[in-house]
Amino acid sequence: MSNNLLAGKRGIIFGALNQDSIAWKVAEKAHEQGAKFVLTNAPIAMRMGEINELASKTGSEVIPADATNMEDLENLFTKAEEILGGKLDFILHSIGMSVNVRKGKHYTELNYDWLEKGWDVSAVSFHRVMQVAWKRDAMNEWGSILALTYIAAQRTFPDYNDMADNKAYLESIARSFGYHFGKAKKVRVNTISQSPTPTTAGSGVKGFDGFINYAEKMSPLGNATAEDCAEYCISLFSDLTKRVTMQNLFHDGGFSNTGVSQEIVESFSSDS
């Protein structure tokens, strides 16, 4: 159902790899709500070609960019403004990767070259994107910039490894840049802390299956799906949330404020 919440708005959506990706669902819903946008992903991710299907479905163009490369980002913003015909109203940063997680390196034995790569891709890239937008004055007033994060930034989830530290860094960048973007340009910057979600990045975390089931039982409303997350993103890109900024917004069915649920207690009680 469309309420045209994003009619006339222009944006850039990073991170749609395949149909499971959170960014994929955001693109579909943004299109439904009347937005125009360009899709982007790392050149290496284009090889799978699935993003072209999303592009034709949403009437958008694809511009490859490695989010850790300033030249790629400059080129992306130049082309996006040309294609869309003006400044931007929203940006979604839906990017994450840890080489240590990928290669199964234990947190106590991190490889620091891999750590640097992971934090550049997962956290510093958000600063890079905002710096390019800032210097080019590419955002319209009351625009909205969003990144996706996970509660391991606040509490320890051992298998999340160095991604926990990357997410803490990402959330801090949202607050710090959010201050400047708010003051100077009336642009809001937030992070959404999403439930575990079965995507390529999510499923790469060790023990993901057990963990997503645990989160489901711990959350009074159940886990938020990728579609739910996309709807929340749309609300934050819309004019209905104009003065929400510098926040880390939990979108997790209540997981973050639940000490323990009845189901979990029962699964441990001796008479169960």
- Binding status of residue 161 toward ligand NAD by CB under 6 A: no
DSSP letters for 124-171: IHHHHHHHHHHHHT-EEEEEEEEEEE-GGGTS--GGGTTHHHHHHHHH
Q: Considering only residues 29-48, where is the footprint of ligand NAD by CB under 6 A?
A: 41-42, 45
- Counting contacts by CB under 6 A, is residue 119 touching ligand NAD? no
Looking at beta carbons only, is 1 or 44 nearer to ligand NAD?
44
Is 163:205 a contact under the CB 8 Å cutoff?
yes
**199 contacts ligand NAD (rule: CB under 6 A):** yes
Question: Which residues, other chains included, contact 53 with Cβ-Cβ below 8 Å and sequence gap of 6+?
Answer: none
Q: What x/- string results for residues 55 through 84 when contact with ligand NAD is judged by CB under 6 A?
A: -----------xxx----------------
Find the binder of ligand NAD among 95, 115, 123, 230 (CB under 6 A). Answer: 95
Determine, following the binding rule CB under 6 A, whether residue 118 of this chain makes contact with ligand NAD.
no
**Interface with ligand NAD, residue 230, by CB under 6 A:** no
Is 15 a residue that touches ligand NAD (CB under 6 A)?
Answer: yes
Do 229 and 25 form a contact (C-beta atoms < 8 A)? Answer: yes
Told to check if 196 binds ligand NAD by CB under 6 A, we report yes
**140 vs 258, beta carbon nearer ligand NAD:** 258
234-263 residues in contact with ligand NAD (CB under 6 A) are none
| 6 is a contact residue toward ligand NAD (CB under 6 A) | no
Among 77, 119, 150, 250, binds ligand NAD (CB under 6 A): 150
Among 26, 33, 96, 177, binds ligand NAD (CB under 6 A): 96
Nearer to ligand NAD among residue 209 and residue 239 (C-beta) = 209
- 121 scored as a contact of ligand NAD (CB under 6 A): yes
Any contact of residue 138 with ligand NAD (CB under 6 A)?
Answer: no
- In the complex, the residues that contact ligand NAD under the rule CB under 6 A are 14-15, 17, 21-23, 41-42, 45, 66-68, 94-97, 121, 148-150, 194, 196-197, 199-202
